[in-house]
Amino acid sequence: YQCLGGENIKIGAIIHLWHYDKYTATGEITDTETLETAQKTGIYSLLFILQIFSNHQENYPVRLLYVASHSQSLNPQETIAYQKATVPGLLKTIPMENPEWDCRHLDIPQDSLKVNSDRLRPWRGEADRILEELTIDAKDSEVAYRDGERWVSGLEKVDLPSLPKQPLPFKAGGTYLISGGLGGIGVEIAKYLLEHYQAKLLLLGRTPLPDSNSWETYLQQGGKLAEKIKAYQQLQQLGGEVIYQGVDIGHQKAVQEVVQQTLSGWQVQQLDGVIHLAGLMQERFLREETPESLAEVLRPKLIGTLVLHQLVEKQPKSLFINFSSINGFFGGTTVGAYAGANSFLDAFSYYQRDHSQLQSYCLAWSMWDEMGMSRGYQMKQLTQAKGYLAVGLSQGMSSLLAGLCHDQPYLMVGLDGSNLNIRRLTSTSDNLQQLTAYFTTNGKGKPNVSVLESQVQDAVGKPSSCAVVELAEMPLTEGGEIDIGLLRESNLGRSTQERIKPRNETELQIAQIWQDLLGVSQVGIYDNFFELGGNSLLATQVISRLRQAFGKELTLQDLFEYPTVAGITKNIEVLRQLAQKENTFIYETDEDYEEEAL
């Protein structure tokens, strides 16, 4: 990579084939070292590719195709190489932070590319598919080929009340391990199990608690440690038994020793289940990620999951509940490492469910409102605009129990089904992918357009519906070219006549900045920045440009609270009025933060 970058060679397409390999008969990894080593040719190599080429050829378009075998599964009979599964989360994050990069995950069975004299033609066919995926402009981020058919990933809405019910999988007096057990969500789950099942709970966390004799001092001082001590004391007052131990869940021997010691004290032989909540989220752009920082975020979900899995893997019907994040499926700006960690957890849970004897469940959450890692999160408006809703405590617990009661192995919780970002991925979203053909007659008579309505295919040969719309005249840009952006916005249901244009110089300047950064042809004063395609990276750039243009200390929080041109204009006018008054103090709340904190 460094050699190519040093010679300033422009690379427009990259095919990553290191994970296109054979899969062992069982596919099982028995030690954490092997699992860590497998990441070198996957998530680490892709991170280095991004950092080298993005730094040496900024704003140069790159199409990255990650080709792998056994990396996607279309049915329970297909084995999955879960050690490769950290890649999808990171791969989906790359274009979010680097819009000039187009990334796709392509899964092709290893046997389909065998080369011999009898199968020369099939080899050429599969190779052509790989090359074709580099050239087509389909927006599919995950593609799998099976028997010549092209499959893409999507979402399916689940109607839980219509599904069969089963008893909850918890046992009265059962023994359960909860990782991240004194975090906000872990405490609530522990309360439920203690109150309703009088369970015996072993809570594991990163932070050791001080000697109980000094707890009163810590409680008086306050802080996060005091919150953990208080929560632990409250749990000890409930039914059942509860023990907390501070241990690194990625340290296999230490975890095994703690578990054996606890089980011996309870005079039981084994755990009845594991609830894995532990995780680490650090906000950092992928260009700034290091192998050390990436490994730190991966560790609880990658190594920790395998360590906990091996505690119960030989116990038939033991319960294993994984708490994941929707970032594993969608990716996420500034949380690429966290997305990779959770895409691994999703795949590993699939392996547990279909290729082991465990009762495995995985729930991928948007965020629990003001709990766990989302506590104090300042970008709720941004995530809501993307279709990710905050889940309250009551709703979260109900969703967990409903998923278990209806035996759902994998659920995403907290998605806004009405949001376009979500709707385009649902199984009923064909109508959202409709083509529209616009034409004008120029007074020469209407042409025969019926052929467009019935015979149009997309880039991969899939039949597509096409609406045909006649316009009195074609909208043009200032340069005289057809205004594609304006037509596209109209096709999504936005009436260009309803858009209110900027009314003064301030609104005009702000709208122009938005147009430049968002790549849209027009911006109305009431258009929502995030609904137009804005994200946290673009929001940072917008605030920087607005500061330069108006000389006012606007913050990201201002944009989240007032995400329209009219709203930002009003905010700027207030700042101007305050600046004109003598001895005026501008109070900045603790919720304001600079872009460097992202």
- Kindly report the pTM of this predicted structure: 0.76
What pLDDT is attached to residue 453? Answer: 59
What pLDDT is attached to residue 458? Answer: 62
CB 583 within 8 Å of CB 405: no
Name every residue whose Cβ is closer than 8 Å to that of residue 471 and which is 6 or more positions away in sequence: 438, 439, 440
What pLDDT is attached to residue 169? Answer: 95
Burial of 431 (0-12, 13-18, 19+ CB in 10 A): exposed
How far apart, in whole angstroms, are the C-alpha atoms of residue 382 and residue 387?
A: 9
Provide the CB-side half-sphere exposure for 186 (13 A, CA): 27
Name every residue whose Cβ is closer than 8 Å to that of residue 45 and which is 6 or more positions away in sequence: 16, 18
Pair of tokens at residue 463: 């039949």
Cα dist from 9 to 4, 365, 420, whole Å: 6, 42, 39
Pair of tokens at residue 51: 């950092």
CB 207 within 8 Å of CB 180: no
- Strand segments, DSSP code E, in 335-473 are 359-365, 367-368, 390-391, 410-413, 435-439, 466-470
- Residue 13 pairs in a beta bridge with 63
Hey, what long-range contacts does 451-460 have (CB within 8 A, 24 or more apart)? 458/138, 458/433, 459/136, 459/137, 459/138, 460/132, 460/136, 460/138, 460/150
- Strand segments, DSSP code E, in 71-111 are 101-107
Which amino acid, 472?
A: A
Name every residue whose Cβ is closer than 8 Å to that of residue 591 and which is 6 or more positions away in sequence: 378, 557
What pLDDT is attached to residue 39? Answer: 95
Pair of tokens at residue 206: 């990163």
CATH of domain 505-597: 1.10.1200.10
Q: Identify which of 252, 249, 248, 204 has the alpha carbon closest to the alpha carbon of residue 228.
A: 204
- Please provide the distance, in angstroms rounded to a whole number, between the alpha carbons at the two ends of the chain: 28
Q: Which residue has the tokens 């968002």?
A: 518
Name every residue whose Cβ is closer than 8 Å to that of residue 380 and which is 6 or more positions away in sequence: 390, 560
* pLDDT < 70 stretches in the chain: 1-2, 4-6, 23-27, 111-126, 370, 372-382, 427-435, 451-455, 457-465, 488-499, 578-598
Q: Pairing between strand 142-146 and 149-152?
A: antiparallel
CATH of domain 2-152: 3.40.50.720
CB atoms within 10 A of CB 320: 26
How far apart, in whole angstroms, are the C-alpha atoms of residue 40 and residue 53?
A: 18
Residue limits of CATH 3.40.50.720 in the chain: 2-152, 175-271
Question: DSSP letters of 81-92?
Answer: -GGGTTHHHHHH
Tell me the pLDDT tens digit for each residue of 17-73: 999 887 664 557 878 888 999 899 999 999 999 998 887 777 788 999 999 999 998
What pLDDT is attached to residue 9? Answer: 74
Superfamily (CATH H level) for 175-271: NAD(P)-binding Rossmann-like Domain (3.40.50.720)
Residue limits of CATH 1.10.1200.10 in the chain: 505-597
